[in-house]
Amino acid sequence: TNKTLLMLPGDGIGPEVFNQVRRVVDWMAKNRSINFDLKEGLVGGACYDVHKQAITDETMQDALDADAVLFGAVGGPQYDNVERHARPEAGLLRLRKEMDLFANLRPAVVFDALLDASTLKPEVIQGLDLMIVRELTSGVYFGEPRGMQDYNGVERCIDTQAYTKAEVERVAAVAFDLARKRNSRVHSVEKANVMETGIFWRKTVTELHASGGYQDIELAHMYADNCAMQLMKNPKQFDVIVTDNLFGDLLSDAAAMSTGSLGMLPSASLGAADENGQRKALYEPVHGSAPDIAGQDLANPSAMLLSFAMMLRYSFGLLKDADMVENAIQNVLKSGIRTGDIMAPGCTQVGTTGMGDAILAE
């Protein structure tokens, strides 16, 4: 039986970059006999326009039933004043929470051909290959209570940063396991000098490291403010970084920007492994919906296609096919074909479809 793949293009450039995924899916079916049962759904503003909510229960159920979810991007200025619970982001947050996608894998990789795209000096980022593992279903994003409250007679607004031991352990385990397949080094990042959850995070990660069979992994602890600096000063010192939901949001974006090519970066969000080792999973490019260039055949489809490749690798164990997609993209870059976001002197500029053509040809 075929695997089910739910496609959620979303808003802005999401649908455009998805068109290129469809072409690769067709190619894989024809040339590699890889067949998916494809489903498609609305999410974000696209769903709001029709249903006045950011995702329907039906699509949510499809996501829970699917073997993997491919996600484009959500959001746009026309939704700025939509009530909070129906805003485009709410669709993404609900998917994360209900699919229990607690581990967000955000690689920051510098392609040699794109070395100059970064605002950082080439020697600082050449060969950069780090992975941020961000906790994605807890922390201040979801902690209760939240909102306005009377506290000892004072009117205040609050959010609650909350973690259980199990929540920290499971994401740390993902980081240790990943590090073992990489360079066996993990930086655990928090603010243990000022936050109780920081102390708790550090202690829990340290204990798991010692007693969970991870002594072969080198573990270091770093404060989040220092990590923000180090990502600019010397990002190559890192192999795997594991951190909470909010720090992970800022730090993974900073790491992504250090590469200079957001249009090239995929991500994976993984749930717990079932008895067969299968994890619920959602794959999405790091770039947003980029409403300013939407619908103009300008967007770079690479990050979306690399997200598809991550899916082949992590959800379906199709390592060879994942490599094929990744190598095709590398080769296209080397050949000097570029979308506008990564355009450089001497290269040939193409649009979204042109980039798709070139990648398919490779």
Ligand X SMILES: CC(C)[C@H](C(=O)O)[C@@H](O)C(=O)O
Query: What gap in Å lies between CA 253 and CA 127, rounded to an integer?
Result: 18
Which residues in 198-237 contact ligand X (CB under 6 A)? 225
CA–CA separation, 278 vs 70, rounded Å?
16
- Which tokens go with 16? 């455009």
Q: Of the listed 100, 129, 177, 253, which one is catalytic?
A: 253
Give 312-332 as a 3 state SS string. Answer: HHHCCCCHHHHHHHHHHHHHH
> Has 225 been annotated as catalytic?
yes
Residues contributing to the annotated binding site for substrate: 96, 106, 134, 225
Please list the residues that pair with 2 across neighbouring strands. Answer: none
From candidates 121, 127, 146, 194, binder to ligand X by CB under 6 A:
194
Give the contact letters, 84-113, x = binds to ligand X (CB under 6 A), - = no. Answer: -----x--xx--------------------
Among 2, 31, 164, 215, which residue sits at the site for a second copy (rule: CB under 8 A)? 164
| List 25, 242, 251, 333, residue binding a second copy (CB under 8 A) | 251
72, 176, 253 from 231: Cα distances, Å: 27, 20, 10
- CA dist 1 and 6 (Å) reads 16
Closest residue to ligand X, judged by C-beta, is 89
Contact present, 6 and 20 (Cβ < 8 Å): no
Residues in Cβ contact with 31 at an 8 Å cutoff, skipping those fewer than 6 apart: none
Q: How far apart are CA 8 and CA 10, in angstroms?
A: 6
Find tokens 């699509």 and name the residue. 59
Catalytic residue among 48, 141, 283, 314: 141
Q: Which of 316, 272, 44, 275 is nearest to 171 (CA)?
A: 272
Q: Choose, by CB under 8 A, the member of 136, 179, 256, 328 that binds a second copy.
A: 256
Q: Which amino acid is at 73?
A: A
Q: Is 54 in the site for a second copy (CB under 8 A)?
A: no
The answer to whether 249 contacts ligand X (rule: CB under 6 A) is yes
- The single residue listed with the structure tokens 């496609």 is 7
Residues of the binding site for NAD(+): 76-89, 288-300
Residue 334 in contact with a second copy, rule: CB under 8 A: no
User: Looking only at residues 130 through 159 of this chain, which bind a second copy when binding is defined by CB under 8 A?
Assistant: 140-141, 143-144, 146-148, 151, 154-159
* Interactions with a second copy, residue window 168-207 (CB under 8 A): 191, 193-197, 199-200
Question: Which residues belong to the annotated binding site for Mg(2+)?
Answer: 225, 249, 253
Q: Give the single-character DSSP code of 140.
A: G
Query: Is 196 one of the binding residues for ligand X (CB under 6 A)?
Result: no
Q: Which of 2, 61, 160, 327 binds a second copy (CB under 8 A)?
A: 160
Residues marked active site are found at 141, 191, 225, 249, 253
In the complex, the residues that contact ligand X under the rule CB under 6 A are 89, 92-93, 193-194, 225, 249
